[in-house]
Structures are given as C-alpha cells and as structure tokens.
Structure 1
Amino acid sequence: MERDLQSKIAWITGGGSGVGQAVARTLAQAGAHVYVSGRRLEPLAATVAQIEAQGGQASAIVVDVAQPDPPRAAVTQIMENHNRLDIYVGAAGYNINRRQFSNLTAQEAGAIIATNLGGAFNASSAVLVAMRTAGDGLLVHIGSWSGRRVRTFSGPAYTAAKAGLLAMSESLNLEVALEGIRSTVIIPGGIDTPLLDNLPTPPPPEQRARLLRPDDCAQAVLWVARLPARVRIDEITITPTIQNV
C-alpha cells in the first residue's frame, strides 16, 4: 500500500531550479507541504508561486548548505512550524566550466566539493536530529552518473563529490535504517538542467531535447517517498535511452 503524502513535511535543497524545483512541485501536488531552499530568494519565490498557483503548500528558506549552521537553522525553523520533518531531498548542485586539473584551482575544487558533498552531509546531519526523534524519515540525494562511472567531462572535483555521496548514503543506511530512517540516491545520467550551461561546450538544443527531464527524476523521488517504511531503495540509476558512455 502506498504511503499517503498528505500533511507530510518535505525539505528540498536546490529548490529554485532544475531537479529540485521539479521535486518540490511533484511532492506538493501529492499533498506534502514543501520547503524549498537555496542561496537566492528570487528563484525560490518563483517555485513557491508555481506550487501555490497549483493549489499546493510551499515555503522558501534561504540556505547555503555548504556551511554547517544554515541547514541546522532551517531544520529548527521547520520543526518550530510543524514539529515534524518527514522527507529531505538534497538537490543542491554546483559545477563550473573549468573542470580539469590543468585549469581548476584548489579553491574552486573545494567550493564544488563543499556544495555537492559537504552540503549533503550538513543537511543530512541536520535532518537526522528530527528524524531520529520521530523514528521515521526519508532522505533522497540527487547524485550523478559521474559518481558511478568516471568521465572526464564532469571533472575530478564533481566526480569525487558525487562518488562520495554514494558512500555517504550507504553509511547512513548502515547507521540509521534500523531506527526507521531510509536513505536513497537517485543517479541520473544526462539531464537537461541549468548545470549543462556550465559545461565547457554546452550541448546543442537538439541533443538536450533527447536527454532526461527534471520531472523524470522527480517522479522517481515520488515513487520512493510513497513506498511503505519496510522498503529501502538504496540506489536508482536513470539514464536517457541515447546515453552510451
């Protein structure tokens, strides 16, 4: 029997665009009250407006997950408002067009890792406090094909961060699954999001049209969220049919 998401509370990082925005819309349509966060208020407000226009419930919180304190403050705010936090979806992602050891500085690599891996750790640590008290909860991390299959176009920093995300989620399940908390990584292949604009050579429109859409990942998140508590999905890999690398 599917879980009913009515009145569930969800927090989505990176909720101002791409996969995070699609997840927020999808969970809100399923009945959850969603909190979207990111570093800039304007795109978050746009996501909230879209959700409310469709009859859903949403709130925006400005959060830089790369820093440890803002995620804890966000969880505190959510708990003060609702006294529960059922679902966390980590969709905050960052990369730049200088991606190789030959042109990527240590400071730039550190910023990429701080958002894609450090941010996931900071947010996960914060939500676990609430979920452990409740004895229930779901964490879903948006990973990348690059974390499973190393390719040069993603760059060493982004690849290392996404590979680390898989190990972090596995560690979470080893530690907290018996407490009723589940962790899943969604591993998309080529997906048409704003991150593609930061590739050294962005793909042309006709190629982007054949890639995954953010809503494809959002539907996978919804499926996992609706599963009964006895079911743990460790990883889901989703690729466009044209992907062969």
Structure 2
Amino acid sequence: MRRLLAIALLLLVVPAATRAQDTLPAGAPGGQPAQPPQLSPEEFNQMVSYALGRSIAEDCKMGGVTLDARAMQTGINEVQGNRPPQWTEQQLSQAMQMFAMKIQQQVAANNKKAGDDYLAANAKKEGVKVTPSGLQYKVIKQGTGATPTDSDVVVCHYKGTFINGQEFDSSYRRGQPAQFPVRGVIDGWTEALKMMKVGDKWQLFIPSELAYGEGGQERIGPNEALLFDIELLQIAEPQARPQQ
C-alpha cells in the first residue's frame, strides 16, 4: 500500500519510487472520483486527524520505529502554539531522512518478495518460457520479420503493468508507438527484443534485477517486477549520415 506519509517523505529525500498513476479510489465506478462524505467541519477534522494518525503509525511500523505518542503530541502542540522546536531543523531533517531510508528499504524488501513469489508461480504456467537470466516470456502472436540486433532502433507498441495488474504506462493508450534503441531500454526488454521477430507480440514477465532494480524509476517502486505486453512493429531505417 502506498501510504501518505511515506510518499511525502520519499518525495523529499529519496527518489520517487512508489508512485503509480491512474489509481482509482476504491468503489469509484468508471473512472469517476469517489464523492467525499457530507461532514461537519468538526467531523472532517476528526476524520483527517484519524487518517493521518493511522498513516503515521503504519509508516513508523514499516520503518522500524516505535511511535512515541507523547513526543508526537509535544511536536503538534509546539507547532499549534507557535513555539520553537526542541531540536534544530538540521537534526530533525537528518532523522526524517534516516526514517525515509528505512521505509524505502522495507518497501524494496516487500516488493522483492512479492515479485519473486509471483514469478515462481508464473513460471509454471502453460506457455511461459524462462531464460537463463530469469526473464519470462509468452508468445502471443508470431511474426515473420527480421530480428533486431544491439545496434538497431525498433518501433513497438507496449503496455506495462505491475504484478497486481495496475497499468503504469501504455503506448496503446497514447495512440502512438514508441521508438527507441535496442540497447536503450531495461535489460529485460533488450534481451527479449533480440529474440523477437518483427510482427511478434509477446508477454514479458521481468524480474526486478532486469528492470529498474533497487533504485526504481519515477512511477516504478524499488525492486518491482514488471509485466509488459510488447508488439514489435518494425526495425527503423538507419538515419543517413550527413555528407562530409
């Protein structure tokens, strides 16, 4: 679960790695945002305070910190009373950076286990092939064209999802195929492209070490296994070199 405080901390002090786009609120039909309940100002404040309390407690648990409710209340009282903090801003910032790093490490460990478990089960499914590197793929449609090499530039349609099925990127949704060098993408893609033929459509199941690894990337969390539908449309014509 992407928790409120963890996201805020990671945005401030570590690479943004746990965000995902196009997440629908629970129970919201057809892409329409859920309507907030009709609350009095007092009820609204209570609900927000309660939600923040749960979020902070969950993040502390994830980061291996035993929440000191008294110290937290002191910090709240100081802010509300416009009183100076008991530690310097530098000390507080360093503590929060260490806390965010602990959360990041725990998220990475959770993602790695979830990805490994998923891939172990997926490897047993009919039609799924596994390469020595750990890349898994399934041929959906076979093409008859040429196979790209390291030096080629390819044109592909693709859709990327997390192991829970949530989409994070899609050239289909943009209505425009993507063009990129074979060596200019994640290792799992490069390996697959050099086995595919133009006209092929494959499903890829990529372990984190062949994707974005421990660092993640923007909407990709640390150590996340990724799934792709990829369609190799063509090998781009090499650009003519300018005359000397």
User: Given the two structures, how large is their TM-score scaled by the length of structure 2?
Assistant: 0.24
| Structure number having the greater helix percentage | 1
| Higher gyration radius (CA) | 2
User: Given the two structures, how large is their TM-score scaled by the length of structure 1?
Assistant: 0.24
